Structure 1
Amino acid sequence: MRALVVYESMFGSTEAVAQAVAGGVQEFMAVDIVEVGAAPDAVPDEVTLLVVGGPTHAFGMSRPATRIDAARQAPAIISLERGIREWLKGLPVRTSATQATAFDTRVTSRVTGSAARAASRRLDRLGYLLVAVPEGFRVTGVKGPLVDGELDRARAWGMALGVAVAARQASRS
């Protein structure tokens, strides 16, 4: 079993969550973690679990304009050229039983939308088997930092994903 974690991050919070999720998943399987700009154009066949994460911008996945706006707020943006929206749009329909889920980071307010829900819907349309509901991790402000305890929660969520995928694989054997 192998997992691939693909993330988009502006100021580093989403990258930190991706690292924590990968840390939890790797208790159960090998994990590759990659920034979306360097992600493969197709998910390799040996990937059992795909986890996609990105920041919530303007109530959903980032767009080129929202990434440009983020770049105005900080000199060193991590994911400027391509976001998860564009990466997912370019993925081919999946024909194997790869499991997937999505997460996002979002400001702690009542109305923020969710990049993870939008990404999860796209993964479902592409033929991935959704292994978990999309998860949101909270940041204190646009540039972060993460709310205390969110990295621990991300690692625990990653472990739960690993357990779910391992159980599904065992039941198929």
Structure 2
Amino acid sequence: MRTLIIHESLFGNTKAVAAAIKQGLSRGKAPDHVEVVRADEAPGVIPDDVSLLIVGGPTHAFSMTRESTRKDAETKGASEHVRTGIREWIDTVLPKPDLPIVTFDTRVKVKLLPGSAAKSAVRALRARGFRRVEQGETFWVEDTDGPLRAGELVRAEEWGHDLASRADLRPGATAAR
């Protein structure tokens, strides 16, 4: 069984977090059991051997990105040119209701600024028909284009390691209620 990490990254910060999560998940597992895929290259049908799905993206305008916020990011120097983000991928993926999914996001830490791509992804995945979805971590960036705050990649790797050890995310486990 393997873990699939699907991410969207515009400035490279979320991509770096996804890679760190993979490192954490891979500790004690064969590295080929964890795969990181960009949302625009993610499968529309999740392979049967995937036992855990992790979905992450940047928070833009209080939610997951959309075409207009990605275009705005390009005007601010985004290095990745993304046409299909996690929002669009979720809208088209064939649901696997019992597949455990955990979301994460990256965002700027601003006092009293609401919104989270991870939280929005949970709602969208549940509406799509996935039942075992939970909101995971937020990883903080200094500004829209980054960099990640000090220690965030270490924290992402530790979080990945913690996910690998959770019994409720293993095949055959029932959803926590």
TM-score (norm 2): 0.87
Q: Residue type matched to 1:98 in 2?
A: L
Once residues 139 and 47 of structure 1 are traced to their aligned partners in structure 2, the CA distance between those partners, rounded to angstroms, is 30
Does residue 52 (structure 1) correspond to residue 55 (structure 2)? The answer is yes
Is the CA contact 1:4–1:31 (under 8 Å) kept in the aligned structure 2? yes
Give yes or no for the alignment of 1:148 onto 2:154.
no
Query: What's the CA shift for 1:134?
Result: 2.4
CA contact (8 A) 2:52 2:169 kept: no
**What is the root-mean-square deviation of aligned Cα atoms in Å?**
1.9
Contact 1:9–1:55 (CA under 8 A) maintained in structure 2: yes
> Which digits, 9 at most, give the CA deviation of each residue in 1:91-121, with x for residues without a partner?
12214x3111100000011204100001122
The corresponding residue for 2:165 is 163
User: Equivalent pairs: percent with the same residue?
Assistant: 41
Q: Unaligned regions of 5+ residues in structure 2, if any? A: none
Structure 1 unaligned segments of length 5 or more: list them. Answer: none
The aligned residue for residue 16 of structure 2 is 16
Q: Which moved more, 1:163-172 or 1:152-161?
A: 163-172
Residue pairs, 1:20-99, within 5 angstroms: 20-27=20-27, 29=29, 30-74=33-77, 77-95=79-97, 97-99=98-100
Deviation, structure 1 residue 160: 1.1
Between Structure 1 and Structure 2, how many residues are aligned? Answer: 169
What is the aligned partner in structure 2 of residue 109 from structure 1?
Answer: 110
TM-score (norm 1): 0.89
Q: 1:165 to 1:124 in 2, by over 3 A?
A: farther
Q: Contact conserved, 1:28 with 1:162, CA < 8 A, in 2? A: no
The range that moved more, 159-168 or 146-155, is 159-168
